[in-house]
Structure formats: C-alpha cells, structure tokens
Amino acid sequence: MKIDTLPWTEKYRPKKLDEVAGQENVVAVLKAFVKRRNMPNLLFAGPPGVGKTTCTLALARELYGEDYKDYVLELNASDDRGIGIVRGKIKEFARTVALHNAPFKIIFLDEADALTPDAQNALRRTMEKYADITRFILSCNYSSKIIEPLQSRTSVFRFGPISEHDIKKMLKHIIHKEQLKVDDDALEAITYVSDGDLRKAINVLQGAAMQTSHITEKIIYSISSRAKPKEVQEMIKLALSNKFEKARKMLDTLMIEYGMSGEDVLLQMYKEVINMDIDDRIKVKIVDKIGEYNFRLVEGANERIQLEALLAQLMVVNN
C-alpha cells in the first residue's frame, strides 16, 4: 500500500475561504475584508482543529494569490515565546514595505497565548508603529491569556467546535479521494473521538488507513485509545449496581486493550455520565467525584488506585 508522506490535514487543507468547514459567520466577514482589500488586526480564539490557521492561510491566498508566502510571516509562538522574537523576526518583517501592489503584509502568530507577558507588551508598540504596512493575526486557544491591550487592538473572532455534519462531510470527501472503505459505525466513531476537532478526525482516519483500506469501528477506537461509549456506560452502571469486581474487570479492559491513561478514562466517564439515563442528582454526585479524582491524578497520585477508588465511591453514591 502506498503511504503518503504528507499529512492529510495539509493535503486536504482548504485553499479558499468558501471551502472552510463549519465557520460560516467568520468566513463571511473575512470575505468582506478580501473584497475591500483592507482589514484590522485580528484575534482568532477557539479550541484546536477548528480552522483558525486554515482561515488565515485561505485569507492570505485570496489576498495575494499563490505567491502569498512572500507576504506572510508565519510563526508559532510556542516555539519562540520570549521578547526576543518580537524585537527580532517580527519587527524586521513588520518594518519592510510590501512588494508590488500588495496593500499590506500579514504576520500570523499561531498559539499567541504562549507568548510571555513581556513579549505581548512589546508586541503592542510594534502593532501600532507599523499599522500602515503590516497587519497582525493572532491565533490562540484561550483568549483570556492574551493581555487586554492586545485584545483591544484586534477584532476578536471566536471559533466553535466543528459540527458532526461538517466533520462527516469532510471525511466523506477524503474517503472518496483516497478510495477507502469505511463502515458507517467507523465514521460515527471518528466523529465521537474527535470532539469537534476536524484535524484530529482526519489524523485518526489517516492512521487507520495506514493499517487497512477497510476501516471498522474497532480499528478507530483502538488507534485513538478511546473506548466505546457503551463500554464506559456499562462500567459506571456496574459500579452503581454494587458490582465492584465486574466494574473493576471492565476498567482493566479499558486500560489494557485500549491503552487508555487514567485521565483518558476520567474524561470519557465525564462525557458519558451526562448522556446516561439516570437521576440528575446521581449525575451531579458522580461529576463531583470525577472532578475530585481528576485533581488527584493531576497532582501525581497513582492512577490505578485512584480509578478503583472512584468505582468504590460510585457504589456509595447510589446508596
């Protein structure tokens, strides 16, 4: 089987704003900027894999054409997060005049919330000083980590998780292009494990396709280290029914067969408790316990002991 050297997230990255999935409101405004050939500094905020970088690159392509790389400086702030990067690369690029008839250049700072406070403060002055020839696009997962003076100098666009419909639409496009056979249950599984992250969904599909051209639900859950929702729900129900040994045995299955970490198990338990058909008061108690034991794991406690203790606590919750 031929294995692509290029990740599918790059191979199938939309080149035009019209092709961006699931962010219609943001795209409509960006298209207006392209039409006017002018725009303010922008701040894209939202969870991973929802199109922040894609929108930036598609915007640049529509402004500058295929030579867009000559007018765009793309930096990942998590790699160079100190004040030196602002005084060095960013300032040098910002002060140079754009070639030909380009209205301005663009500096794209991905993961800008990783910049130190000193670097963000230094960036304020650079944004103001070269506003006539350079525009800045900042991308972050948490806008609260961007200092207020920077937020006030940008137009903030909030990106939401990609809908199941849009994820499936993109996956079906890739499946058709790559001539894969994917079961309907497998497609549902990819959508479930991706949690609105289209990049994660495409990576899971590519990882499964490297094993076989016929992709099943079992392969998806195995490669993504996630359990089937019904298995997690069954484990919780067993614990609530005072069947500790059976619940413990199912926990073994989740951690050994699927290779899940303790935190993975807790996160999936939290997700499934909300969807279970049990009394809301019991749901509240279970969520409270999951939060407590998640804190213990983050603080470094033994994950196996803590997860079994949580199952024991669930038996008490229902009594």
CATH of the domain at 203: 1.10.8.60
Domain boundary among 102, 135, 158: 158
Are 219 and 234 contained in the same domain?
Answer: no
- Do the Cβ atoms of 75 and 90 come closer than 8 Å? yes
The confidence score (pLDDT) of residue 1 equals 39
Q: How confident is the model at residue 2 (pLDDT cuts 50, 70, 90)?
A: very low
Checking if the pLDDT of 150 tops 70, the result is: yes
Q: Mean per-residue pLDDT for 237-253?
A: 90
Are 193 and 296 contained in the same domain?
Answer: no
Are 149 and 57 contained in the same domain?
Answer: yes
Are 219 and 244 contained in the same domain?
Answer: no
Domain boundary among 183, 207, 223: 223
Rounded to an integer, what distance in angstroms lies between the CA atom of residue 233 and that of residue 168? 25
Rounded to an integer, what distance in angstroms lies between the CA atom of residue 267 and that of residue 294? 9
Checking if the pLDDT of 252 tops 80, the result is: yes
Domain that holds residue 244: 229-317
Q: Order the strands of the 72-76 sheet from edge to edge.
A: 72-76, 105-110, 134-140, 42-45, 155-158
- Helical H runs in the chain? 8-11, 24-36, 52-64, 83-85, 91-95, 117-129, 148-152, 164-178, 184-194, 198-209, 217-223, 229-240, 244-257, 262-275, 280-298, 303-317
Question: 35 in the Ramachandran plot: left (φ > 0), alpha (ψ -120 to 50) or beta?
Answer: alpha
Rounded to an integer, what distance in angstroms lies between the CA atom of residue 204 and that of residue 296? 30
Domain boundary among 158, 179, 201: 158
Are 266 and 297 contained in the same domain?
Answer: yes
CATH number, domain at 307? 1.20.272.10
Tell me what percent of the residues of the chain surpass a pLDDT of 90: 32
94-98, 196-200, 230-234, 269-273: least confidently modelled range: 94-98
Q: How confident is the model at residue 77 (pLDDT cuts 50, 70, 90)?
A: low
In a domain, 306, yes or no: yes
CATH number, domain at 85? 3.40.50.300
The confidence score (pLDDT) of residue 63 equals 87
Q: Could you tell me which of 43, 54, 47, 68 has the C-alpha nearest to residue 21?
A: 54
The confidence score (pLDDT) of residue 122 equals 82
In a domain, 11, yes or no: no
pTM: 0.82
Are 91 and 32 contained in the same domain?
Answer: yes
Are 149 and 87 contained in the same domain?
Answer: yes
Checking if the pLDDT of 317 tops 90, the result is: no
The confidence score (pLDDT) of residue 78 equals 61
Count the domains in the chain: 3
Rounded to an integer, what distance in angstroms lies between the CA atom of residue 295 and that of residue 297? 5
Mean pLDDT of the chain: 86
How buried is 52 (Cβ within 10 angstroms: 0-12 exposed, 13-18 middle, 19+ buried)? Answer: buried
Helix axes 262-275, 244-257, angle to 10 degrees: 120
In a domain, 12, yes or no: no
Are 27 and 153 contained in the same domain?
Answer: yes
More confident residue, 312 or 118: 312
In this structure, which amino acid lies at residue 202?
A: I
- Do the Cβ atoms of 223 and 204 come closer than 8 Å? yes
In a domain, 95, yes or no: yes
Are 184 and 170 contained in the same domain?
Answer: yes
In a domain, 16, yes or no: no
Q: What is the pLDDT of residues 39-50, one digit of tens each?
A: 899 999 998 889
- Tokens representing 30 are 């960006």
